[in-house]
Amino acid sequence: MVFDVTEQDFQREVLDRSHQMPVVVDFWAEWCGPCRQLGPVLERAANAREGKVALAKIDTDANPGISRAFQIQGIPAVKAFVDGRLHSEFVGAQPPQQVERFFDGLVPSEVDGLIAAGDEPSLRRALELEPSRVDALVPLARILHANGDDDGALELLGRAPGNFAAEGLQARIALQRGGEPDLADAFAALDGGDAERALELLLEALPSADGARDEIRKVVVGLLDELGVEHPLARDGRRRLAAALY
C-alpha cells in the first residue's frame, strides 16, 4: 500500500493507521535527486509486503509544518511508525539491501510467525527454514520431551550448544532417566508453570544430591535464564544457588 499524505490527514493516515500496521513515511521533494532514486526502492519494498506495511509519501515543500514537527533537516528522510510512535528511521538514499532490512525490522518474518505459533508442526517448519533457530529448537524439544520422545528432544538440544535453557532440559532428562534424586514434585511444578515452587524444590535438593548436583544446577540455571535477569524470582534464585553451591 503506497499513498500520498498531507499535513491535514497525517494524523489519520499515518499515526492512527500505524496501530493496525507499520507505516513508513517517505519525506521527499520534487527537486531532490536522491529522493527520486530512493522512492522506487521504498515502493518495491512496501508492495512486496502488501497488507503488512504501508508507505506514505509526503512532499516536504508542500507540507512544511510536518517537516518542522519531525525536525527534518535533510531529505530523503524515512521514518517508520508503529502504534502511533516513531519506531525507526534513516536519512539519505540507501541501497536496496539496506531498505529491505529496514522493512524486515517492521514485519515479522515467516519463521518468526511460526515460532510465535509454538505448536509442533509450526516449530518443525521453522527449523526447516532456519535450522539454527534456538528459539525453535528448545520449545520443540520441550514438546517432544512432554510426549515421551526424549531421544528426539536430546538430538535437537545437541544443536544448541551453550544455551542455558537447552542445557537445563538436557540435565532434566538425564536426572529423570537416572531416577536419583527424586525430583518428581519439582518437575511437576515446572510443567505446571509454578516456577517459584519448582525453584524452591530444586534448591532444597542440591545439598544432598551428591553426584547429581551439577545436573540440578543446570536445571536451575536454565529456569533462571528463562525467567530473565530482571525477574525478582531470578535475582533471589541466583543468590540462593550460589549459596547452595559454595
> Which of 72, 89, 104 marks a domain boundary?
104
In this predicted structure, what is the pLDDT of residue 123? 97
Residues 188, 100, single domain; the answer is: no
**Distance in angstroms (rounded) separating the CA atoms of residues 26 and 41:** 11
User: Is the domain of 10 the same as that of 64?
Assistant: yes
Residue 132 shares a structural domain with residue 171? yes
- Do 160 and 227 lie in one domain? The reply is yes
Q: Which of 148-152, 168-172, 194-198, 226-230 has the lowest mean pLDDT?
A: 226-230
Catalytic site residue from 14, 24, 35, 141: 35
Q: Which of 113-117, 192-196, 226-230 has the lowest mean pLDDT?
A: 226-230
> pLDDT at position 151, please?
97
pLDDT in tens, 187-213: 999 999 999 999 999 999 988 888 899
Tell me, yes or no, if 35 is annotated catalytic. yes
**147 and 199 co-located in one domain:** yes
Q: Tell me what pLDDT residue 45 has.
A: 92
Which residue out of 32, 53, 54, 160 is catalytically annotated?
Answer: 32
Mean pLDDT (the chain) is 92
Residue 59: CATH number of its domain? 3.40.30.10
For residue 19, indicate whether it is catalytic: no
Q: Are 208 and 182 in contact (CB under 8 A)?
A: no
Confidence label for 182 from pLDDT (cuts 50, 70 and 90): confident
Quick one: 97 and 116 in the same domain? Answer: no
- Pairing label, strands 54-59, 2-4: parallel
Domain end call among 51, 71, 104 = 104
Q: Are residues 94 and 214 in the same domain?
A: no
Considering its fold, how many domains does the chain have in total? 2
Claim to verify: residue 181 and residue 222 sit in the same structural domain: yes
Mean pLDDT of 86-108: 91
Pair 221, 197 in one domain = yes
- Residue 180 confidence (pLDDT) above 70: no
Evaluate if residue 246 carries a pLDDT over 80: no
For the cut 90, the answer to whether the pLDDT of residue 110 exceeds it is no
Here the CATH number for the domain that contains residue 213 is 1.25.40
Among 81, 104, 127, residue at a domain's last position: 104
Do 153 and 223 belong together in one domain? yes
The answer on 73 and 166 residing in a single domain is no
Residue 171 domain boundaries: 110-245
Distance in angstroms (rounded) separating the CA atoms of residues 96 and 45: 8
Query: Which range among 28-32, 108-112, 129-133, 139-143 shows the weakest confidence by mean pLDDT?
Result: 108-112
Q: Which pLDDT does position 217 carry in this prediction?
A: 93
Confidence of residue 235 (pLDDT cuts 50, 70, 90): confident
> What integer pLDDT is reported at residue 138 of this predicted model?
96
Inter-residue long-range contacts of 81-90, CB under 8 Å, 24+ positions, other chains counted: 81/14, 81/15, 81/18, 81/22, 81/23, 81/24, 81/25, 82/18, 82/22, 82/23, 82/106, 83/18, 83/19, 84/15, 84/16, 84/18, 84/19, 85/18, 87/22
Based on the fold, state whether residues 115 and 223 are members of the same structural domain.
yes
Q: What is the pLDDT of residue 75?
A: 94
CA angle 126, 88, 26 (to 5 degrees): 110
pLDDT single digits (tens) 5-61 = 999 999 999 999 999 999 999 999 999 999 999 999 999 999 988 889 999 999 999
pLDDT mean over 134-157: 96
